[in-house]
Amino acid sequence: MPHRNYISIIFAPEGEQKSFAVRLKKWQLTAAVVVIVLGWFFFLGGIVGGIVIARSVATQRQIIAENRRLREALIKADTLRQELEQLRAMKRLLEQALFVATTRGKSEFERREYIPQAMKKSDIFLPNRGIPELGDYLEHQWRIEAYIPDGLPAEGVISARFGETGGIFKKPHSGVDIVVAEGTPVRATANGIVAAVDTSDDYGIFVDIDHLNGYHTVYAHLSAANASVGMPVSRGDIIGYSGHTGRARNPHIHYEVRYNGKPIDPLAVAGASDSQKGEDEQKRQDGESKSVGAKK
């Protein structure tokens, strides 16, 4: 019996049309089957892959939205905590006012007997302070002092000041450099929420804190960060440790203060009594830049 190398496929249309046959070699038929199977495999794989990618994108969007909601919740929680502290301070001041009213005309010994326990443990309020000062005092104490950068993140020698140019600075220096030993604790200069913990070629390891009032502070060239994004911090909390990561020749802290996105002099803001100081400093710098431009 002769060896058959061909396979015939006969097509018989309905009606009176003549049937016809296609004669294929065995390897041609095998190749056609393989191509058809692979085509269906890639087609189904594409559909499954598209579904997986679409679900991944949707999940990522949900995570981003959830992170945004959590950050907003943290800000609201911090605001509620601040308002609770205000109410506690109001309570202490009302106790002070009650103490003054009920001890008027009494001896010093008799007056001491009326001092509430909460006031005996604190000397915040002066003896003659009255109700009218409450609003101004609380606004100064909680909303201004606690959330405006004050002081420096560590004690050390200032090796470079704000606005310096020349040398290693190709453009005006955006902060101050504080020379300290490597591993020195770096402390937040005001209350706020950690907005970023990241690494860059210039700053090395850095922490960015949002103080919820237009102010941001940046602590750069750290050897390690001790904070995470979204974490609330208070003035004095350790948010990292000094180092010489990034473009730093020796261990030091690069400290920046930004107001409404623009760098301002940290030494001018330190000890500020109200948020207007940031606005005044920003206006002063804008005025100086315009005057320099006019001279050129």
Look at residue 50 and tell me if it is in a domain: no
Using the 3D structure, point to which of 122, 144, 166 is the last residue of a domain: 144
Same domain for 124 and 165, yes or no, is: no
Work out the percent of the chain whose per-residue pLDDT is above 70. Answer: 66
| Global pTM value | 0.49
CA-CA-CA-CA torsion sign (290, 292, 294, 296): negative
Look at residue 236 and tell me if it is in a domain: yes
Look at residue 66 and tell me if it is in a domain: no
Using the 3D structure, point to which of 144, 165, 187 is the last residue of a domain: 144
Same domain for 263 and 225, yes or no, is: yes
pLDDT at 254 (0 to 100): 95
Look at residue 99 and tell me if it is in a domain: yes
> With 70 as the cut, is the pLDDT of residue 294 above it?
no
**What average pLDDT does the segment 97-103 reach?**
55
CATH of the domain at 258: 2.70.70.10
Q: Can you give the residue range of the structural domain that contains 270?
A: 157-295
Look at residue 57 and tell me if it is in a domain: no
| Parallel/antiparallel/unpaired status of strands 238-242 and 204-210 | unpaired
Per-residue tokens: 77: 């929680």
Same domain for 166 and 138, yes or no, is: no
Same domain for 92 and 203, yes or no, is: no
Distance of CA 63 to the CA centre of its chain: 17
Look at residue 136 and tell me if it is in a domain: yes
Chain mean pLDDT for the chain? 76
Using the 3D structure, point to which of 144, 171, 186 is the last residue of a domain: 144
Same domain for 94 and 202, yes or no, is: no
> Where is average pLDDT lowest: 10-19, 201-210, 215-224, 237-246?
10-19
Tell me the backbone φ, ψ of residue 92, rounded to 5 degrees. Answer: -65, -40
Q: Which helix (H) or strand (E) covers residue 20, if one does?
A: strand 20-25
Same domain for 247 and 282, yes or no, is: yes
Decide if 192 contacts 208 (C-beta within 8 A).
Answer: no
Same domain for 162 and 238, yes or no, is: yes
Same domain for 127 and 185, yes or no, is: no
> With 60 as the cut, is the pLDDT of residue 289 above it?
no
Same domain for 138 and 173, yes or no, is: no
**Number of folded domains that form the chain:** 2
